[in-house]
Amino acid sequence: MKCYDFLAGEQSPRYLGGIEKDLVTLARIFADSGLSIAMLTFDQGQEAGESVHGVDVFPCYRPDAGLPVLRFAYPRAWRIIAEILKANAAITIVMGVGAPVAWAALAAKLRKRNRFVFLTASDSDCAASLPLVKTGHEKVLYRFGLARADVCFVQSGHQRDALRRNFGKDGELLRIPAYASSVSERQVPRSADGPDRGTGALKVTWIGRLSPEKRPERVLEIAEQCSDVQFSVAGGANTQSQFARELLERMKSAPNVIYHGKLPPADMQRIYDESDYVLNTSDTEGFPATFREAWHFGKPVISIVDPDSLIADHRAGFAASGMSEIVSFLESGAAKDSQAELSRNASEMYGHQFSERQCLDRILTASNSGITA
């Protein structure tokens, strides 16, 4: 629902996270393969049926439309079901936890030939407690919709196990490629060559949302102990919380931390190009879009989260057991000495694991829709 700005190439999308990046990536892969694609979005004034990069846009409702409480049923549920029926697609894809999973499942079942495909967006989608769902009725609706999915795709083996254990659903592994703004960029992984600074400082970049669950304050803690390393932070807060305000104040006084703010998607390539490593500091993730973007641009990842052990097994970065190991890695000189090799590994692994063709074929085959591309 929140994908229109990003799909249309707006400089400052109102909504931008891993779900938006992944859904737009999938939509463009399908469209570039010659398939007819429709995307349901918020009504932001766009024309119904507008085609953007080969994707037909179906605006449903304004985010603030409807009366409090009642808007849950109308316009939200009503319009989502109506637009899915109008699109008359062979496959309906929904990503992430929430009530729309139920509305999509209902609409798909009303169209007998429509296959309903659900994609997990994070580990929390597979947790029995559903920690990101705020209300009890939304949890019930999510469980209702998930139970009726024809196919579930997961981001990692951990999610597959949790989905089976907590919801009784089997999940198939799907490697979604990194988002890139052009077909040529998506098809060929970038060179693994890092920035040429000679004996200059190692540059480590943190990219994400300035929120407590992402643990961005750890960047400052690591930076205090690694004075010879240059850190960059790119991202903003969805809301101006006290946490974000205090963090920004602390970054201003950190001598080896540069804060870029929330950058337009077009500027992120430069951030990756200027980096030696991409740093992740959160304790739990699904399969971060920043990992895939980093590897696409040939940049190794430093993280204590390692989905399916891809970092460790392919030496596509440094998989740490905690913050102290990250500090030791950066301070010891090992990070600088191994950067070129880890960059090559990251680029090669990405090319093998995250191809567009395997992603497309896996969805079409598993959904048993009879569609070929």
Do β-strands 257-261 and 37-41 pair in parallel, antiparallel, or remain unpaired? Answer: unpaired
Q: How many domains does the chain divide into?
A: 2
pLDDT at 197: 45
pLDDT at 15: 86
Mark whether 162 and 281 lie in a shared domain. no
Mark whether 58 and 171 lie in a shared domain. yes
- Name the DSSP class of 11: S
The dihedral over CA atoms of 157, 158, 164, 170, expressed in degrees to the nearest 10, equals: -20
Residue 340 is assigned to a structural domain of this protein: yes
Mark whether 160 and 204 lie in a shared domain. no
Q: How far apart are CA 180 and CA 24, in angstroms?
A: 10
Mark whether 167 and 216 lie in a shared domain. no
Mark whether 129 and 200 lie in a shared domain. no
| Residue pLDDT, tens place only, 231-244 | 999 998 867 789 99
| Residue pLDDT, tens place only, 199-249 | 579 999 999 989 998 999 999 999 999 999 999 999 988 677 899 999 999
Q: How far apart are CA 305 and CA 272, in angstroms?
A: 20
| Residue pLDDT, tens place only, 255-290 | 999 999 988 887 888 999 999 999 999 988 788 889
DSSP 27-58: HHHHHHTT--EEEEE--SSPPTT-EETTEEEE
Mark whether 36 and 126 lie in a shared domain. yes
Token digits of residue 367: 């959904």
**CATH code: domain of residue 320:** 3.40.50.2000
Backbone dihedral region for residue 9 (phi beyond 0: left; psi -120 to 50: alpha; all else: beta): left
Going by C-beta distance under 8 Å and a sequence separation of 6 or more, which residues neighbour residue 57? Answer: 4, 7, 38, 39, 41, 46, 47, 48, 49, 50, 51
What residue numbers bound the domain in which 274 lies? 189-353
| Residue pLDDT, tens place only, 19-75 | 999 999 999 999 999 999 999 999 998 888 899 999 999 999 999 999 999 999 999
Q: How far apart are CA 39 and CA 84, in angstroms?
A: 9
Token digits of residue 70: 């009642």
Residue 213 is assigned to a structural domain of this protein: yes
Mark whether 142 and 158 lie in a shared domain. yes
Q: How far apart are CA 210 and CA 223, in angstroms?
A: 17
